[in-house]
Structure 1
Amino acid sequence: MDSKVATTTSIGRGGKPAEFYDSYLYGLSGQARDVWLNPTGDGGTAKVRVPRGGYTLNSGVYINPEDYTKGGPSGPRRPPARLCCRSPRSASRPM
Protein backbone atom coordinates (compact mmCIF):
# COMPACT_ATOMS: atom_id res chain seq x y z
CA MET A 1 0.00 0.00 0.00
CA ASP A 2 1.34 3.43 -0.98
CA SER A 3 1.31 5.80 2.00
CA LYS A 4 2.43 9.23 3.13
CA VAL A 5 3.14 10.91 6.44
CA ALA A 6 0.48 13.45 7.40
CA THR A 7 1.47 16.17 9.86
CA THR A 8 -1.09 18.33 11.65
CA THR A 9 0.01 21.43 13.55
CA SER A 10 -2.54 23.00 15.89
CA ILE A 11 -1.89 26.63 16.77
CA GLY A 12 -3.67 28.41 19.64
CA ARG A 13 -5.08 31.94 19.42
CA GLY A 14 -1.85 33.42 20.79
CA GLY A 15 0.14 31.94 17.90
CA LYS A 16 1.85 29.26 20.00
CA PRO A 17 1.32 25.48 19.73
CA ALA A 18 -2.04 24.45 21.20
CA GLU A 19 -1.93 22.56 24.47
CA PHE A 20 -5.40 21.03 24.07
CA TYR A 21 -6.65 20.03 20.63
CA ASP A 22 -8.43 17.30 18.68
CA SER A 23 -7.81 16.44 15.04
CA TYR A 24 -9.61 13.86 12.94
CA LEU A 25 -8.79 12.68 9.43
CA TYR A 26 -11.43 10.84 7.45
CA GLY A 27 -10.54 9.19 4.14
CA LEU A 28 -12.78 10.08 1.21
CA SER A 29 -11.15 8.49 -1.82
CA GLY A 30 -8.48 6.12 -3.09
CA GLN A 31 -6.85 3.73 -0.65
CA ALA A 32 -7.89 6.13 2.14
CA ARG A 33 -11.64 5.61 1.59
CA ASP A 34 -13.39 5.08 4.95
CA VAL A 35 -10.15 5.33 6.97
CA TRP A 36 -10.71 7.20 10.25
CA LEU A 37 -7.68 8.54 12.14
CA ASN A 38 -7.18 10.63 15.29
CA PRO A 39 -3.60 11.94 15.10
CA THR A 40 -2.20 13.01 18.47
CA GLY A 41 1.17 14.35 19.58
CA ASP A 42 3.01 16.72 21.86
CA GLY A 43 3.34 20.46 21.42
CA GLY A 44 0.40 20.81 19.02
CA THR A 45 2.03 18.67 16.30
CA ALA A 46 0.99 15.16 15.35
CA LYS A 47 2.30 12.85 12.62
CA VAL A 48 0.56 9.77 11.29
CA ARG A 49 1.21 7.51 8.28
CA VAL A 50 -1.84 7.51 5.99
CA PRO A 51 -2.81 5.57 2.86
CA ARG A 52 -2.69 7.55 -0.38
CA GLY A 53 -5.99 9.27 -1.19
CA GLY A 54 -8.23 12.22 -0.39
CA TYR A 55 -9.08 13.25 3.16
CA THR A 56 -11.13 15.72 5.12
CA LEU A 57 -9.66 17.23 8.30
CA ASN A 58 -11.68 18.34 11.31
CA SER A 59 -9.77 20.06 14.09
CA GLY A 60 -10.59 21.95 17.27
CA VAL A 61 -8.41 23.89 19.70
CA TYR A 62 -9.59 24.17 23.32
CA ILE A 63 -8.61 26.42 26.20
CA ASN A 64 -10.18 24.23 28.89
CA PRO A 65 -10.61 20.53 28.02
CA GLU A 66 -13.01 20.11 30.98
CA ASP A 67 -15.42 22.76 29.63
CA TYR A 68 -15.33 23.41 25.87
CA THR A 69 -17.63 26.41 26.26
CA LYS A 70 -14.95 28.41 28.08
CA GLY A 71 -12.90 30.72 25.92
CA GLY A 72 -9.49 32.06 26.61
CA PRO A 73 -7.48 35.23 26.33
CA SER A 74 -8.17 37.20 23.21
CA GLY A 75 -5.49 37.30 20.60
CA PRO A 76 -4.99 37.17 16.86
CA ARG A 77 -7.19 34.64 15.12
CA ARG A 78 -5.23 31.96 13.31
CA PRO A 79 -6.21 28.79 11.48
CA PRO A 80 -6.45 25.94 14.00
CA ALA A 81 -4.59 23.34 11.95
CA ARG A 82 -2.37 22.79 8.95
CA LEU A 83 -2.13 19.51 7.08
CA CYS A 84 0.85 18.52 5.04
CA CYS A 85 1.57 15.14 3.51
CA ARG A 86 4.82 14.10 1.89
CA SER A 87 5.64 10.95 0.03
CA PRO A 88 8.78 9.20 1.27
CA ARG A 89 10.06 9.38 -2.34
CA SER A 90 9.42 13.10 -2.77
CA ALA A 91 9.75 14.93 0.54
CA SER A 92 9.38 18.40 -1.01
CA ARG A 93 6.09 17.80 -2.83
CA PRO A 94 2.88 18.78 -0.92
CA MET A 95 -0.13 16.48 -1.08
Structure 2
Amino acid sequence: MFEATEITRLIQQGLPCDYVQIQGDDGVHFTGVVVSAEFAGKPKVRQHQAVYATLGPLMGNEIHALQLQTYTPEQWASVRQELGL
Protein backbone atom coordinates (compact mmCIF):
# COMPACT_ATOMS: atom_id res chain seq x y z
CA MET A 1 0.00 0.00 0.00
CA PHE A 2 1.25 3.43 -0.94
CA GLU A 3 0.32 6.88 0.32
CA ALA A 4 -0.81 9.74 -1.92
CA THR A 5 1.43 12.10 0.06
CA GLU A 6 4.50 10.04 -0.89
CA ILE A 7 3.55 10.13 -4.58
CA THR A 8 3.16 13.91 -4.31
CA ARG A 9 6.60 14.19 -2.69
CA LEU A 10 8.26 12.07 -5.37
CA ILE A 11 6.67 14.04 -8.21
CA GLN A 12 7.69 17.36 -6.65
CA GLN A 13 11.20 16.06 -6.09
CA GLY A 14 11.63 14.85 -9.66
CA LEU A 15 9.82 17.53 -11.67
CA PRO A 16 9.61 21.31 -11.21
CA CYS A 17 5.91 21.79 -10.44
CA ASP A 18 3.68 24.73 -9.71
CA TYR A 19 0.97 22.50 -8.25
CA VAL A 20 0.53 18.81 -7.45
CA GLN A 21 -2.54 17.16 -5.97
CA ILE A 22 -2.69 13.37 -5.73
CA GLN A 23 -5.62 11.48 -4.23
CA GLY A 24 -6.35 7.84 -3.60
CA ASP A 25 -7.72 5.89 -0.71
CA ASP A 26 -7.04 2.25 -1.54
CA GLY A 27 -3.23 2.48 -1.63
CA VAL A 28 -2.80 1.34 -5.24
CA HIS A 29 -5.15 3.44 -7.44
CA PHE A 30 -4.63 7.20 -7.58
CA THR A 31 -5.80 10.28 -9.45
CA GLY A 32 -4.03 13.57 -9.68
CA VAL A 33 -3.41 16.98 -11.13
CA VAL A 34 0.11 18.09 -11.97
CA VAL A 35 0.96 21.60 -13.21
CA SER A 36 4.43 22.25 -14.62
CA ALA A 37 6.04 24.64 -17.07
CA GLU A 38 7.98 21.57 -18.26
CA PHE A 39 4.82 20.46 -20.07
CA ALA A 40 4.84 23.41 -22.49
CA GLY A 41 4.83 22.26 -26.10
CA LYS A 42 4.59 18.57 -25.19
CA PRO A 43 1.65 16.33 -26.06
CA LYS A 44 -0.32 14.83 -23.16
CA VAL A 45 1.35 11.44 -23.52
CA ARG A 46 4.80 13.03 -23.03
CA GLN A 47 3.53 15.07 -20.08
CA HIS A 48 2.24 11.92 -18.41
CA GLN A 49 5.47 10.06 -19.17
CA ALA A 50 7.42 12.87 -17.47
CA VAL A 51 5.33 12.41 -14.32
CA TYR A 52 5.58 8.61 -14.44
CA ALA A 53 9.36 8.91 -14.79
CA THR A 54 9.51 10.61 -11.37
CA LEU A 55 7.95 7.48 -9.86
CA GLY A 56 10.25 5.01 -11.62
CA PRO A 57 9.67 1.33 -10.88
CA LEU A 58 6.85 2.12 -8.43
CA MET A 59 4.56 2.53 -11.45
CA GLY A 60 2.92 -0.78 -12.24
CA ASN A 61 4.16 -2.29 -8.99
CA GLU A 62 3.33 -0.50 -5.74
CA ILE A 63 1.29 2.05 -7.73
CA HIS A 64 -1.12 0.06 -9.86
CA ALA A 65 -2.75 3.06 -11.56
CA LEU A 66 -2.31 6.83 -11.66
CA GLN A 67 -4.91 8.75 -13.65
CA LEU A 68 -3.48 12.18 -14.44
CA GLN A 69 -4.63 15.57 -15.57
CA THR A 70 -1.59 17.61 -16.60
CA TYR A 71 -1.44 21.32 -17.37
CA THR A 72 1.01 24.10 -18.05
CA PRO A 73 0.67 27.02 -15.60
CA GLU A 74 -1.21 29.00 -18.26
CA GLN A 75 -3.65 26.15 -18.93
CA TRP A 76 -4.15 25.66 -15.19
CA ALA A 77 -4.96 29.34 -14.69
CA SER A 78 -7.60 29.07 -17.42
CA VAL A 79 -9.08 25.86 -15.96
CA ARG A 80 -9.21 27.37 -12.48
CA GLN A 81 -10.94 30.45 -13.84
CA GLU A 82 -13.50 28.32 -15.69
CA LEU A 83 -14.20 26.35 -12.51
CA GLY A 84 -14.34 29.48 -10.37
CA LEU A 85 -11.46 28.39 -8.14
TM-score, structure 2 length as denominator? Answer: 0.32
TM-score, structure 1 length as denominator? Answer: 0.30
- Structure 1 or 2: more strand by fraction: 1
Q: Pick 1 or 2: higher relative contact order, CA cutoff 8 A, min separation 6.
A: 1
Query: Which has the higher Rg, Structure 1 or Structure 2?
Result: 1
- Structure 1 or 2: more helix by fraction: 2
